[in-house]
Amino acid sequence: MPAKKLTHFDTSNRPRMVDVGAKGVTVRVAVAEAIVRFPPEVAAALRAGGLRSPKGPVIDTAIIAGTMAAKRTHELIPFCHPLAIERCKLAADFVSDTELAIRCEVALTHKTGVEMEALTGASVAALTVYDMCKALSHAIVIERVRLVEKSGGKRLVKAGKVVSEGRGRTR
């Protein structure tokens, strides 16, 4: 198997945006997750207050912020292509007494993937939760921001691991 190399460098080792012109158009989907860990008393207060903080509805605000961020990823990360996202879905649920999991799913039909958009959406949603809740505690921790799944390109990723390599389905 040939050694993997970084794709954002040209033959002179200068940074560049990847040329996707020859790639096939496929349906591409990516799911990312961020975990926000609260001190037990803060998690209990949030649940008791209907997931509202002194700044307002925590989850609803995080969903809006994450969606806005996913759509503007190319403005934040230099070599990301500007994309016409067809779907961006965020959800947040407590997965333990103190951990809130934020998932961001992004999809489109294009020549390039949307994992950076999903990761950006989940990250900014988590940052928004922190901002909305920091009046309650600065001991809130954002952790485990990761790609959970992606499909439609050369690699199929599930549970953060490459499960197959090959070509995505073209349209």
Residue 71 is inside which H or E element, if any? Answer: helix 58-71
Given this model, what pLDDT does residue 1 score?
A: 46
> What pLDDT score was predicted for residue 6?
64
In the prediction, which pLDDT does 32 show?
Answer: 97
Domain boundaries, the chain: 27-155
Q: Are 137 and 40 in contact (CB under 8 A)?
A: no
Q: What is the pLDDT of residues 109-146, one digit of tens each?
A: 998 889 999 999 999 999 999 999 999 999 999 999 99
The owner of tokens 């489109």 is 108
Please give the model's pTM, rounded to 2 decimal places: 0.85
DSSP state of 99: E
pLDDT at 12 over 80: no
CB atoms inside a 10 Å sphere around CB 87? 11
Q: Regarding beta strands 52-53 and 141-151, do their DSSP bridges make them parallel or antiparallel, or are they unpaired? A: unpaired
Q: Which fold has domain 27-155?
A: Alpha-Beta Plaits (3.30.70)
In angstroms, the CA 160 to CA 53 distance is 32
How far is Cα 155 from Cα 44, in angstroms, rounded to an integer?
41
Residue 13 pLDDT > 60, yes or no?
yes
- Give the C-alpha separation, 44 to 57, whole Å: 15
- Nearest CA-CA partner of 117 in 153, 154, 89: 89
Number of continuous H segments (helices) and E segments (strands) in the chain:
4, 8
Q: Within 13 Å of residue 46, how many CA atoms lie on the same side as its CB?
A: 30
pLDDT tens-digit readout, 33-89: 999 999 999 999 999 999 988 889 999 999 999 999 999 999 999 889 999 999 999
For the annotated catalytic residues, the residue numbers are: 131
